[in-house]
């Protein structure tokens, strides 16, 4: 994809920040603390506003390219609520509410487990009624997902702010996870290729064994499918597709399956080395296992696609697939 | 590394959706009496009349230069015609091979005389091709070819046997891959491609080979001192391997690589209208997400072809994923609907289930086995 100047600049900035602060972010995630300096640098860079239209305080990066930043964060298994903050700000802007201060806790219902809820300065809640912007809410129950990322229950607000707009926050959160998974899967493939190329057994690199090559080819297929499915949903968002939610449902259904299959192959090919806390692979695979069921589970999104397929009927099925 | 395996965004063309509806209307009209079972056999449906009608519409040789009977349209428009034709279960066997690979190969490597003589007939839906690659001792190991064309006065003398040659008994021409110098130990070196006129060349015997579904598509094609004129050489003598690899990229790139079971999926959706369950919704959701994604990947390959890029590795990925999707379908269908598969059944679902079950093994064999494709993907990843 050819990037605009502003898009390329943001992508460079993001890569530099994700790499420079990787250690701090990783350590903070392990110790359950907030990486103050890393987040401050990310906020300073303007990344949290990348999905906001220029007229509402963004800086004119095309939406398709802004979404690539979320994918890029997935390539680093970034343990920060950057995707949530980008989506949260976009939802606030779409609903005509003022933008968030600090990291956003993005919630698709009042009793959702909110990513990084304890660190969020603004809670953006979007449901069927509309979008609400909350500040100063307390965490009622702290928890984590299986990647060890905070997932917290938020206490009910003392008074309800008014709801605005009709923004599909659940679907947009799901889109973020789809993109993050596609990015993480790409990195998992690279790591696995690197590992089998350098690890020598029986006197030759693992990569020279046909059994290994066949498994890697399967892994590459799943990663390619996930990548295409994420692109499909991102294109639907950028083009203002009428049925954005369905495109996201398709993407999440396919990418969730790819995440399961790819993580299994990657671990098999990494052997015991990849099953340690010390090796980086688990940061990606545990995130994939968690992400495939966040902002709607695998089952939730698959059922949406299945019901649509069934209701299209025998003669309407193929036209429905083409229009999806 | 992986950036090389990214699939480009599918192309779009103004008018492509209008073309799609034109094709759908045409097919609805022409195929009105075609049974579901026969639609399931789209690939093997041999119907010169149908191919001629497509040719008259300008839907064959779509991307080729006008001077060879082509229509200079985009790869994406061609893609639209191909996928609509297959999804409708149209009988494509008499034009598919020529339009997909033999024609493009001739366009790329053929002599001016060959292009002028052959391509207009393909674009008109008149000329049928078959592919002379596999041999009794040379399936996946194509470089082990033993069929030999020996240079003689004014041409070539060919002796050898080609096997599992789809449609040879109905074809007008074959593109023959064979050895023209050296020995089988030289592997890829010393191989060439020759254009064989099956209707006029003497010394060729074509015998049927019946497949496990009881149908006659395969053939054994035996050459015994068959004479081919020197003008039969396609491209350069000794460059056969490079040419045949390029041809296989065409063969592996299209939507036929995941639409073989489409009729079964359609009948399954129909059968589930009165037998739905959450399990059915989950299964259909999964299959549909796969199909939408496969379409996007496949159209990405079309974009690469249009840009003149070599989609060898990408095409292998689509075909590998596509064949798995197609082959999984019968068992998924069986898990959702009670049926004893029977091609003679009056139930369209049951008949099509039988047909696809019997043909499914071929999906990951034809056009390059699953193992060969995965080897190609591994090479694309830099492992080989």
pLDDT at A214 exceeding the cut of 60: yes
B33: tokens are: 């009496």
- The confidence score (pLDDT) of residue A59 equals 87
pLDDT band for position B189 (cuts 50, 70, 90): very high
- The confidence score (pLDDT) of residue B176 equals 98
**Residue B76: φ, ψ to 5°:** -70, -40
- The confidence score (pLDDT) of residue B306 equals 83
pLDDT band for position B234 (cuts 50, 70, 90): very high
Write down the mean pLDDT value for chain B: 94
B199: tokens are: 């209707």
Are residues B7 and A227, on separate chains, in Cβ contact within 8 Å? yes
- The confidence score (pLDDT) of residue B56 equals 98
- The confidence score (pLDDT) of residue A162 equals 80
Are residues B317 and A313, on separate chains, in Cβ contact within 8 Å? no
Q: Check residues B14 and B57 and name the one with the higher pLDDT.
A: B57
pLDDT at B2 exceeding the cut of 70: no
The domains of chain B, with CATH numbers, are: 2-127 (1.10.540.10), 131-238 (2.40.110.10), 244-380 (1.20.140.10)
Cα-to-chain-centroid distance, residue B234: 20
Please give the average per-residue pLDDT across B259-283, as a whole number: 96
Please give the average per-residue pLDDT across B105-130, as a whole number: 97
Q: What are B301-341's pLDDT values in tens digits?
A: 989 988 888 888 999 999 999 999 999 999 999 999 999 99
Q: B192-196, B308-312, B360-364 — which is least confidently predicted? A: B308-312
Share of chain B above pLDDT 90, in %: 87
How many Cβ contacts (< 8 angstroms) between chains A and B? 163
pLDDT at A158 exceeding the cut of 50: yes
- The confidence score (pLDDT) of residue A279 equals 93
pLDDT at B1 exceeding the cut of 60: no
pLDDT at B52 exceeding the cut of 90: yes
Cα-to-chain-centroid distance, residue A322: 26
Give the helix/strand (H/E) hosting B36.
helix B36-40
Buried-exposed string A73-84: b where 16+ CB fall within 10 A, e elsewhere: bbbbbbbbbbbb
Q: A20-29, A57-66, A206-215, A232-241 — which is least confidently predicted? A: A20-29
**Chain B residues near residue A250 by CB distance under 8 angstroms:** 288-289, 292-293
Q: How far is CA B227 from CA B32, B148, B183, in A?
A: 45, 12, 20
pLDDT band for position B348 (cuts 50, 70, 90): very high
- β-pair partners for B298: none
B257: tokens are: 């690589």
The domains of chain A, with CATH numbers, are: 5-154 (1.10.540), 169-323 (1.20.140.10)
Mutate to test the interface with A, among B262, B318, B378, B380 (most CBs of A within 10 A): B378
Q: Sign of torsion, CA A256 A258 A259 A263? A: positive
**In this predicted complex, what is the ipTM?**
0.97
- Residue carrying the six token digits 């798995």: B324
Q: What residues of chain B, 217 to 276, have a C-beta less than 8 Å from chain A? A: 262, 265-267, 269-270, 272-273, 276
């Amino acid at each position: 994809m050819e990037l605009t100047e502003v898009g390329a600049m943001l992508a460079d900035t993001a890569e530099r920040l994700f790499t420079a602060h990787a250690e701090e972010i990783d350590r903070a995630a392990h110790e359950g603390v907030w990486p103050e300096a890393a987040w401050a640098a990310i906020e300073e860079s303007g990344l949290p506003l990348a999905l906001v239209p220029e007229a509402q305080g963004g800086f004119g990066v095309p939406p398709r390219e802004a979404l690539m930043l979320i994918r890029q964060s997935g390539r680093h298994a970034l343990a920060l609520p950057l995707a949530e903050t980008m989506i949260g700000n976009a939802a606030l802007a779409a609903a005509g509410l003022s933008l968030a201060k600090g990291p956003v806790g993005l919630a698709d219902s009042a009793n959702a487990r909110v990513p990084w809820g304890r660190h969020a300065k603004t809670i953006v809640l979007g449901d069927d009624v509309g979008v609400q912007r909350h500040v100063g809410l307390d965490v009622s129950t702290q928890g984590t997902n299986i990647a060890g990322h905070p997932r917290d229950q938020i206490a009910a607000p003392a008074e309800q702010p008014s709801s605005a707009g009709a923004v599909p926050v659940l679907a947009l959160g799901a889109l973020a996870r789809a993109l993050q998974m596609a990015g993480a899967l790409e990195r998992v493939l690279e790591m696995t290729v690197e590992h089998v190329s350098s690890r020598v057994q029986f006197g030759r690199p693992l990569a020279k064994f046909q059994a290994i090559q066949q498994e890697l080819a399967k892994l590459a297929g799943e990663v390619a499918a996930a990548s295409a499915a994420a692109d499909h949903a991102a294109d639907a968002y950028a083009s203002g597709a009428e049925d954005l939610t369905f495109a996201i449902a398709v993407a999440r259904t396919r990418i969730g399956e790819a995440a399961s299959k790819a993580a299994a192959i990657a671990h098999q090919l990494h052997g015991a080395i990849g099953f340690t806390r010390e090796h980086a692979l688990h940061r990606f695979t545990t995130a994939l296992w968690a992400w495939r069921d966040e902002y709607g589970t695998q089952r939730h999104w698959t059922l949406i696609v299945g019901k649509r397929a069934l209701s299209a009927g025998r003669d309407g099925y193929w036209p429905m697939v083409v229009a999806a | 590394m992986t950036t090389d395996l990214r699939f480009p965004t599918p192309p779009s063309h103004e008018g492509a959706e209008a073309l799609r509806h034109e094709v759908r209307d045409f097919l609805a009209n022409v195929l009105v009496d075609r049974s579901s079972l026969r639609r399931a056999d789209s690939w093997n449906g041999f119907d010169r009349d149908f191919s001629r009608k497509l040719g008259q519409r300008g839907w064959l040789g779509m991307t080729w230069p006008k001077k060879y009977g082509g229509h200079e349209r985009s790869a994406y428009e061609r893609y639209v015609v191909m996928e609509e034709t297959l999804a409708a279960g149209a009988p494509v066997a008499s034009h598919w091979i020529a339009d997909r690979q033999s024609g493009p190969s001739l366009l790329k490597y053929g002599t001016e005389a060959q292009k002028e003589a052959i391509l207009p007939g393909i674009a008109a839906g008149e000329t049928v091709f078959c592919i002379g690659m596999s041999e009794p001792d040379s399936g996946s190991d194509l470089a082990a070819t033993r069929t030999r064309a020996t240079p003689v006065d004014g041409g070539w003398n060919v002796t050898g046997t080609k096997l599992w040659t789809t449609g040879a008994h109905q074809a007008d021409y074959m593109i023959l891959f064979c050895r023209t110098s050296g020995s089988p130990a030289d592997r890829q070196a010393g191989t060439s491609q020759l254009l064989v006129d099956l209707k006029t060349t003497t010394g060729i015997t074509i015998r049927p080979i019946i497949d496990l579904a009881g149908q006659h598509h395969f053939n054994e094609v035996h050459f015994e001192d068959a004479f081919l004129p020197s003008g039969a050489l396609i491209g350069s003598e000794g460059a056969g391997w490079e040419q045949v690899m390029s041809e296989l990229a065409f063969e592996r790139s299209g939507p036929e690589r995941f639409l073989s079971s489409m009729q079964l999926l359609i009948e399954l959706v129909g059968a589930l209208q009165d037998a739905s369950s959450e399990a059915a919704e989950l299964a259909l959701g999964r299959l549909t997400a796969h199909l939408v994604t496969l379409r996007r990947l496949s159209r990405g390959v079309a974009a690469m072809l249009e840009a003149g890029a070599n989609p060898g590795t990408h095409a292998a990925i689509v075909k590998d994923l596509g064949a798995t999707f197609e082959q999984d379908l019968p068992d998924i269908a069986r898990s959702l609907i009670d049926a004893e598969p029977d091609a003679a059944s009056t139930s369209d679902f049951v008949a099509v289930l039988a047909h696809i079950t019997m043909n499914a093994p071929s999906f990951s064999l034809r056009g390059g086995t699953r193992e060969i494709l995965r080897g190609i993907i591994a090479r694309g990843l830099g492992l080989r």
